[in-house]
Copies of this chain bind each other. A is one copy, B any other.
Amino acid sequence: MDYYRNLPAEKDNENIDRPQVSVAVIHRLPRYFRYLRELIRNGRMRISSGELAEMMGVTASQIRQDLNCFGGFGQQGYGYNVNYLYAKISELLGVGAGLQAVIIGAGDLGRALVRSSMFEKRGVDIIAMFDVDSKLIHKEVGDVTIYDMVDLEQFCKEHQVDIAVLTLPKEFVEREASRLVECGVKGLWNFTGRELSYESDTVVVENVHLGDSLMSLNYALCRKLGEEETKKKSEERETQK
Residues of A bordering B, CB below 8 Å: 15-17, 26-27, 29-31, 33-34, 38, 57, 92-95, 97, 99, 107-109, 111-112, 115-116, 118-119, 121-124, 162-163, 186-187, 189, 193-194, 197, 204, 206, 208-227, 230
Can you name the residue of chain B whose Cβ is closest to the Cβ of A95? B218
Give 27 A-B contacts (CB < 8 Å), ordered by A residue: A15-B227, A30-B212, A31-B209, A31-B212, A33-B215, A57-B197, A93-B218, A93-B222, A94-B218, A97-B222, A99-B218, A99-B221, A107-B112, A108-B115, A122-B218, A186-B224, A187-B217, A187-B218, A187-B220, A189-B214, A204-B217, A204-B220, A204-B221, A204-B224, A206-B214, A206-B216, A206-B220
Q: Is A34 a contact partner of B221 (Cβ separation < 8 A)?
A: no
With both chains docked as a complex, state the minimum distance between the C-beta of A157 and any C-beta of chain B, in angstroms.
Answer: 19
Can you name the residue of chain B whose Cβ is closest to the Cβ of A118? B211
Chain B residues positioned under 8 Å from A162 (CB to CB): 221, 225
Can you name the residue of chain B whose Cβ is closest to the Cβ of A92? B219
Chain B residues positioned under 8 Å from A111 (CB to CB): 108, 112
With both chains docked as a complex, state the minimum distance between the C-beta of A26 and any C-beta of chain B, in angstroms.
Answer: 6
With both chains docked as a complex, state the minimum distance between the C-beta of A119 and any C-beta of chain B, in angstroms.
Answer: 7
Cα distance A208–B213 when bound, in Å? Answer: 8
With both chains docked as a complex, state the minimum distance between the C-beta of A189 and any C-beta of chain B, in angstroms.
Answer: 5
Q: How many copies of this chain does the complex contain?
A: 2
Q: Is B213 a contact partner of A206 (Cβ separation < 8 A)?
A: yes
20 further A-B pairs in the complex, CB-CB below 8 A; given A108-B108, A108-B116, A109-B112 = A16-B227, A26-B219, A27-B216, A29-B215, A30-B211, A30-B216, A93-B218, A94-B221, A99-B218, A108-B112, A111-B112, A123-B218, A124-B214, A124-B218, A162-B221, A163-B217, A186-B224, A187-B218, A206-B220, A208-B213
With both chains docked as a complex, state the minimum distance between the C-beta of A199 and any C-beta of chain B, in angstroms.
Answer: 12
Chain B residues positioned under 8 Å from A118 (CB to CB): 210-211, 214
Chain B residues positioned under 8 Å from A193 (CB to CB): 34
With both chains docked as a complex, state the minimum distance between the C-beta of A165 and any C-beta of chain B, in angstroms.
Answer: 9
Cα distance A224–B203 when bound, in Å? Answer: 8
